[in-house]
């Protein structure tokens, strides 16, 4: 229930974050009647959950009847529910363009689909271009002159992707009766004709009003080559208005099937000499075979003399075969970029104040949700239990305990932030959220701590309190230092968990400057500490806490079992890193830890004198130290020799998903086949829950089997530079992460949200065909 509640809540948060355009918003479409549209041309499907799909599709014609030999505009009209949007011909960082496959009368010809000027949407640093509310995508149908008068069926299968907090593919098979009259008969407008005039006015205009100079950094581009392409665009008449402070709306790239923009610095824009210099930094794919040429360019929007000029500026990118000789082609346009100050370069996302405030909010909410994740809930419950146990403490003592617990959490998150900065500056390594769990030493130490804590809840020994004067006081109260280290303990257990909203904020933090990174981590810590702070500082809430009683003994033991379960999970994580043999000896070491705890509890209890306590503590420490020296080997297990071949045929999804190891080479090998990649780790609790409750369901397995999907598992349990690079490519600081790669590699990959459902995954993999 918690997962689905947060999935529902994510919708309004995403709507609040999505940003509109920097250019004037599109004018509202005219109100028209759709009563005359037949049911065969008006489709809104119902999803598996019984709810209507967010998009209603209609097939419309501007004129009916139409004369043989004439050209008539027809279009697919998409009406979207509030908050949802479909995509432009070049969707941006995420999304898929709407496509229509036509079935025409014999001899008829259909022109390309024409897209209006898009809007800009931004979510979690991902920018896309498309349409909300409604849009009409128009094509021109030319009928043959010898077409006999009569009724004909015009059919089209439309496919699209619609997104809000999640993305849902959609399709509709539309059929519109077309009444054809004799050649020369005047056409008659349909009730929907005003929509065609409205959206035609929003199509990019011819580039006749612009002078365009184009240059490429080399004469041919081969697979994997990096290149620069420059456009100098200057209005022929009128002064150029001031450029906006971001690349949008001045320039929006139209991406090709065989090249992509650089992730680091894709586009530069400079105002100079009364025009605009646009430089694209690109990289060609290693396609086989490469085309001889491909369009490159984009949508240019300039305000000239108080009016907007909107035109698609496209030129040809020359390709060459592998091994072809490449000759640099110097150009003043490309040379000028090194010296010209960028007047409209897009700022990095972290420079956006609104983005920072939004991510601080996401970080706080994510930290708050961590309290109900299975990693942390036992620790929070234990602290609330201690408050109940000490129901007679004064409000001041209760406040001090809450502050100490919170400071322990904040100090721990600051230490994590410092380690990220240190690794980035000193080692040149980018750490990810929870990446400390990729190191066996950390996992082994935390396992020992959790197991020892669990033994204390069973009464094997008592943890002495810090900060109190006498043993008698210690037996009844928990000191400030104890609460502080419990906050540290909560943070250690929280970092492998990825709560809703948390991944977005953490990804932002890991790419942000140091001060912003510390602020994001502090906000997560405050969210994690918030429930304990609120209960401790609001007397009315504390009054609702149960009173002390006999129930506390068995409840404490229940909490002990929860920590035993956590220990089992951590031992499993460790075994995946060091191998089964070393894992067995580590279990022997944990048995020695239990013996050491018993020794300390038997002879070093709170009622023992100082000398006896010191001897018992020394004996317990010696037992643990000797066992660690003798039994613990934390060397990474040798990686097995893996067959790098990937099977795509004959995969069985009957009982479980047939996962195969992920690699970039495997993805390349599977070109022409849809691929689903599960970025996961054994130490990621959220990953394991998603795998059991979402991925390994009949709904998802059947969808994968029907779509011919090859499932790959990117296991990040042990640090893998290749997996890390793919996560960073999509702006992810950790796992879980799910990626759908379409069979047609010219279509963009689809990154699914952290909160997934079986239907969402099934729809995404079905669309990947």
pLDDT tens-digit series, residues 86-143: 999 998 877 889 999 999 999 999 999 999 999 988 765 678 899 988 999 999 999 9
Q: Tell me the CATH number at 48.
A: 2.60.40.1250
Does residue 583 lie within any of the structural domains? no
**Do 130 and 88 meet the contact criterion of CB atoms below 8 Å apart?**
yes
Where is 375: in which H helix or E strand?
none
**Do 577 and 589 meet the contact criterion of CB atoms below 8 Å apart?**
no
Does residue 267 lie within any of the structural domains? yes
Residue 26 has a pLDDT of 79
Report which DSSP code applies to 694.
Answer: I
Count of Cβ atoms closer than 10 Å to residue 459 Cβ: 12
Q: Does 10 score more than 50 pLDDT?
A: no
Q: Does 23 score more than 60 pLDDT?
A: no
Q: Does 343 score more than 50 pLDDT?
A: no
**Do 180 and 68 meet the contact criterion of CB atoms below 8 Å apart?**
yes
Residue 177 has a pLDDT of 94
| Neighbouring residues of 59: CB distance < 8 A, sequence distance ≥ 6 | 37, 41, 42, 74, 75, 76, 77, 154, 156, 158, 174, 175, 176
Q: Does 328 score more than 60 pLDDT?
A: yes
Q: If you search the block for the tokens 């009464």, which residue do you land on?
A: 459
| Neighbouring residues of 591: CB distance < 8 A, sequence distance ≥ 6 | none
Q: 355 with 342, same domain?
A: no
Burial of 317 (0-12, 13-18, 19+ CB in 10 A): buried
Query: 3-class secondary structure for 602-624?
Result: HHCCCCCCHHHHHHHHHHHHHHH
Count of Cβ atoms closer than 10 Å to residue 273 Cβ: 11
Is the dihedral angle over the CA atoms 243, 244, 250, 253 positive or is it negative?
positive
Report which DSSP code applies to 280.
Answer: E
Q: Does 524 score more than 60 pLDDT?
A: yes
**Do 444 and 634 meet the contact criterion of CB atoms below 8 Å apart?**
yes
Q: Strand order of the sheet with strand 675-680?
A: 660-661, 710-715, 675-680, 737-741, 750-752
Q: Does 762 score more than 80 pLDDT?
A: yes
Nearest of 150, 188, 147, 192 to residue 38 by alpha carbon = 192
Residue 11 has a pLDDT of 33
Where is 227: in which H helix or E strand?
strand 226-235
3-state DSSP assignment of residue 473: helix
Residue 736 has a pLDDT of 83
pLDDT in tens, 506-520: 555 555 567 777 887
Nearest of 585, 584, 571 to residue 440 by alpha carbon = 571
Does residue 226 lie within any of the structural domains? yes
Tokens encoding 383: 């602290």
Quote the CA–CA distance of 187 and 7 in Å, as a whole number. 50
Q: Does 40 score more than 80 pLDDT?
A: yes
Q: 357 with 343, same domain?
A: no
477 confidence band (pLDDT: 50, 70, 90): very low
Residue 102 has a pLDDT of 94
Q: What is the mean pLDDT of residues 227-250?
A: 84
Looking at per-residue pLDDT, the higher value among 79 and 222 belongs to 79
pLDDT in tens, 424-469: 555 444 555 555 667 788 778 878 877 887 787 777 877 654 333 3
Q: Which of 298, 320, 347 is the last residue of a domain?
A: 347
Mean pLDDT of the chain: 78
Residues spanned by the domain of 737: 660-767
**Do 105 and 61 meet the contact criterion of CB atoms below 8 Å apart?**
no
* Model confidence, pTM: 0.47
Question: Which of 109-123, 330-344, 483-497 bottoms out in mean pLDDT, i.e. has the lowest?
Answer: 330-344
Looking at per-residue pLDDT, the higher value among 479 and 497 belongs to 479
Beta bridge partners of 137: 76
Tokens encoding 649: 């045929």
Quote the CA–CA distance of 530 and 545 in Å, as a whole number. 17
Q: 11 with 75, same domain?
A: yes
Quote the CA–CA distance of 259 and 10 in Å, as a whole number. 34
Q: Does 215 score more than 50 pLDDT?
A: yes
pLDDT in tens, 56-92: 999 999 999 999 999 999 999 999 998 889 999 998 8
Q: Does 264 score more than 70 pLDDT?
A: no
Residue 199 has a pLDDT of 94
| Neighbouring residues of 88: CB distance < 8 A, sequence distance ≥ 6 | 97, 115, 118, 129, 130, 131
**Do 593 and 452 meet the contact criterion of CB atoms below 8 Å apart?**
yes
Residue 353 has a pLDDT of 33
Does residue 252 lie within any of the structural domains? yes
174 confidence band (pLDDT: 50, 70, 90): very high
Radius of gyration of the chain (CA): 31
CA neighbours closer than 13 Å in the CB half-sphere of residue 139: 21
Q: Tell me the CATH number at 735.
A: 3.40.30.10
Q: 368 with 495, same domain?
A: yes
Residue 323 has a pLDDT of 76
Q: 133 with 250, same domain?
A: no
Residue 110 has a pLDDT of 95
Does residue 686 lie within any of the structural domains? yes
Q: What is the mean pLDDT of residues 737-741?
A: 90
Tokens encoding 663: 């690699």
Residue 286 has a pLDDT of 72
Cα-based angle 413, 419, 425 (whole degrees, multiple of 5):
140
Q: Does 471 score more than 80 pLDDT?
A: no
Structurally, the chain folds into a number of domains equal to 4
pLDDT in tens, 701-727: 998 998 899 999 998 877 787 888 788
3-state DSSP assignment of residue 418: helix
CA distances from 101 to 63, 76, 98, 105, 157 (A): 21, 11, 10, 14, 5
Q: 279 with 365, same domain?
A: no
Q: What is the mean pLDDT of residues 391-419?
A: 78
Count of Cβ atoms closer than 10 Å to residue 553 Cβ: 9
Q: Tell me the CATH number at 224.
A: 2.60.40.10
**Do 119 and 58 meet the contact criterion of CB atoms below 8 Å apart?**
no
Quote the CA–CA distance of 744 and 127 in Å, as a whole number. 22
Question: Which of 84-88, 240-244, 346-350, 631-635 bottoms out in mean pLDDT, i.e. has the lowest?
Answer: 346-350
Does residue 600 lie within any of the structural domains? no
Q: What is the mean pLDDT of residues 339-359?
A: 44
Q: Which of 550, 579, 595 is the last residue of a domain?
A: 550
Residue 678 has a pLDDT of 94
**Do 560 and 454 meet the contact criterion of CB atoms below 8 Å apart?**
yes
Looking at per-residue pLDDT, the higher value among 652 and 555 belongs to 652
**Do 100 and 87 meet the contact criterion of CB atoms below 8 Å apart?**
no
Most trustworthy range by pLDDT among 68-77, 260-269, 635-644, 664-673: 68-77
Looking at per-residue pLDDT, the higher value among 740 and 349 belongs to 740
Residue 360 has a pLDDT of 78
3-state DSSP assignment of residue 322: coil
Residue 548 has a pLDDT of 53
Residue 538 has a pLDDT of 79
Quote the CA–CA distance of 33 and 45 in Å, as a whole number. 21
Q: 171 with 214, same domain?
A: no
pLDDT in tens, 370-384: 666 555 555 556 555
Q: Which of 182, 200, 218 is the last residue of a domain?
A: 200
Quote the CA–CA distance of 339 and 345 in Å, as a whole number. 14
Count of Cβ atoms closer than 10 Å to residue 188 Cβ: 12
Is the dihedral angle over the CA atoms 627, 630, 631, 636 positive or is it negative?
positive
pLDDT in tens, 587-639: 999 999 999 988 888 887 666 777 887 888 889 899 999 998 988 888 877 66
Tokens encoding 508: 């932002």
768 confidence band (pLDDT: 50, 70, 90): confident
Q: Residue 588: phi, psi to the nearest 5?
A: -60, -40
Strand 660-661 relative to strand 293-304: parallel, antiparallel, unpaired?
Answer: unpaired
Where is 234: in which H helix or E strand?
strand 226-235
Does residue 634 lie within any of the structural domains? no
Q: Strand order of the sheet with strand 251-253?
A: 251-253, 293-304, 307-318
Quote the CA–CA distance of 583 and 454 in Å, as a whole number. 20
Q: Does 422 score more than 70 pLDDT?
A: no
Does residue 631 lie within any of the structural domains? no
Q: 75 with 92, same domain?
A: yes
Tokens encoding 734: 């950790």
Quote the CA–CA distance of 385 and 397 in Å, as a whole number. 15
Q: If you search the block for the tokens 């409750």, which residue do you land on?
A: 693
| Neighbouring residues of 499: CB distance < 8 A, sequence distance ≥ 6 | 366, 367, 369, 370, 373, 686
Residue 39 has a pLDDT of 94
Strand 119-123 relative to strand 71-80: parallel, antiparallel, unpaired?
Answer: unpaired
Q: 173 with 261, same domain?
A: no
Q: Residue 496: phi, psi to the nearest 5?
A: -80, -5
Q: What is the mean pLDDT of residues 28-55?
A: 89
3-state DSSP assignment of residue 700: helix
Report which DSSP code applies to 430.
Answer: -
Residue 489 has a pLDDT of 67
Q: 219 with 302, same domain?
A: yes
Q: 318 with 403, same domain?
A: no
* % the chain with pLDDT above 90: 25
Q: 167 with 20, same domain?
A: yes
Q: What is the mean pLDDT of residues 643-657?
A: 82
CA neighbours closer than 13 Å in the CB half-sphere of residue 680: 21
Looking at per-residue pLDDT, the higher value among 338 and 731 belongs to 731
CA neighbours closer than 13 Å in the CB half-sphere of residue 469: 0
Tokens encoding 170: 């959609």
Burial of 509 (0-12, 13-18, 19+ CB in 10 A): buried
Q: Does 350 score more than 60 pLDDT?
A: no
């Amino acid at each position: 229930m918690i997962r689905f509640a947060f999935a529902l809540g994510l919708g309004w948060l995403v709507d609040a974050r999505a940003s509109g355009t920097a250019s004037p918003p599109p004018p509202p479409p005219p109100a028209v009647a759709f009563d005359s549209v037949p049911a065969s041309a008006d489709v809104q499907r119902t999803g598996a959950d019984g709810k209507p799909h967010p998009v209603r599709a209609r097939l419309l014609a501007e004129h009916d009847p139409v004369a043989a030999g004439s050209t008539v505009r027809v279009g697919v009209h998409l009406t979207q529910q509030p908050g949802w949007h479909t995509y432009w011909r070049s969707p941006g960082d995420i999304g898929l363009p709407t496509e229509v496959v036509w079935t025409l009368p014999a001899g008829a010809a259909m022109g390309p689909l024409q897209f209006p000027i898009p809007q800009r949407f931004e979510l979690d640093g991902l920018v896309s271009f498309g349409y909300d509310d409604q849009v009409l995508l128009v094509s021109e149908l030319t009928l043959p002159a010898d077409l006999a008068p009569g009724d004909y069926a015009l059919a089209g299968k439309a496919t699209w992707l619609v997104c809000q907090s999640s993305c849902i593919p959609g399709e509709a098979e539309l059929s519109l009766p077309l009444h054809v009259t004799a050649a020369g008969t005047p056409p008659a407008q349909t009730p929907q004709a005003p929509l065609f005039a409205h959206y035609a006015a929003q199509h990019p205009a011819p580039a006749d009003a612009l002078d365009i100079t184009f240059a490429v950094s080399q004469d041919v581009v081969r697979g994997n080559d990096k290149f620069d392409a420059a456009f100098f665009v200057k209005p022929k008449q009128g002064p150029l208005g001031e450029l906006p402070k971001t690349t949008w709306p001045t320039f929006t790239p139209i991406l090709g099937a065989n090249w992509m923009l650089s992730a680091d610095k894709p586009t530069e824009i400079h105002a100079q000499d009364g025009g605009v210099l646009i430089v694209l930094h690109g990289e060609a794919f290693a396609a086989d075979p490469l085309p001889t040429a491909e369009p490159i360019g984009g949508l240019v929007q300039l305000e000239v003399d108080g009016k907007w000029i909107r035109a698609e500026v496209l030129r040809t990118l020359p390709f060459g075969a592998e091994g072809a000789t490449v000759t640099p082609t110097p150009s003043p346009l490309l040379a000028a970029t090194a010296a010209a100050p960028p007047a409209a370069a897009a700022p990095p996302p972290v420079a956006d104040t609104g983005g920072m405030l939004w991510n601080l909010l996401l970080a706080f909410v994510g930290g708050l949700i961590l309290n109900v994740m299975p990693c942390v809930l036992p620790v929070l419950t234990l602290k609330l239990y201690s408050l109940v146990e000490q129901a007679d403490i004064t409000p001041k003592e209760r406040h001090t305990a809450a502050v100490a617990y919170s400071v322990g959490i904040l100090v721990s998150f600051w230490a994590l932030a410092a380690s990220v900065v240190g690794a980035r500056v000193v080692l040149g390594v980018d750490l990810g959220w929870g990446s400390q769990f990729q190191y066996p030493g950390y996992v082994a130490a935390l396992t020992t701590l959790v197991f020892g804590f669990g033994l204390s809840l069973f009464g094997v020994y008592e943890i002495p309190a810090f900060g109190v004067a006498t043993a008698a006081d210690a037996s009844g109260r928990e000191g400030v230092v104890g609460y502080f280290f419990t906050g540290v303990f909560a943070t250690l257990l929280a970092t492998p968990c990825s709560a809703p909203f948390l991944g977005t904020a953490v990804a932002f933090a890991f790419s942000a400057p140091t001060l912003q990174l510390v602020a994001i981590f502090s906000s997560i810590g405050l969210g994690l500490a918030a429930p304990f702070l609120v209960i401790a500082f609001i007397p009315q809430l504390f009054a609702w806490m149960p009173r002390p009683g006999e129930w506390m003994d068995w409840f404490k033991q229940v909490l002990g079992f929860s920590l035993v379960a956590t220990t089992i999970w951590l031992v499993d994580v460790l075994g995946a890193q060091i191998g089964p043999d070393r894992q067995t000896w580590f279990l022997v070491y944990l048995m020695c830890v239990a013996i050491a705890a018993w020794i300390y509890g038997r002879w070093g209890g709170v009622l023992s004198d100082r000398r006896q306590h010191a001897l018992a503590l020394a004996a317990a420490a010696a037992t643990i130290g000797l066992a660690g020296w003798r039994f613990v080997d934390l060397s990474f297990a040798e990686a097995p020799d893996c067959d790098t071949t990937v099977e795509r045929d004959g995969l069985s999804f009957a009982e479980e998903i047939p996962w195969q190891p992920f690699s970039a080479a495997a993805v390349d090998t599977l070109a022409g086949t849809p691929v689903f990649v599960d970025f996961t780790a054994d130490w990621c609790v959220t990953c394991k829950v998603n795998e059991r409750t979402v991925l390994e369901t009949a709904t998802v397995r059947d969808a994968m089997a029907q779509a011919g999907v090859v499932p790959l598992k990117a296991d990040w349990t042990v640090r893998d530079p290749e997996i890390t690079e793919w996560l960073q490519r999509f702006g992810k600081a950790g796992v879980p992460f799910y990626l759908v790669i379409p069979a047609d590699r010219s279509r963009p990959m689809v990154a699914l949200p952290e909160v997934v459902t079986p239907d969402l995954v099934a729809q995404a993999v079905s669309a990947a065909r």
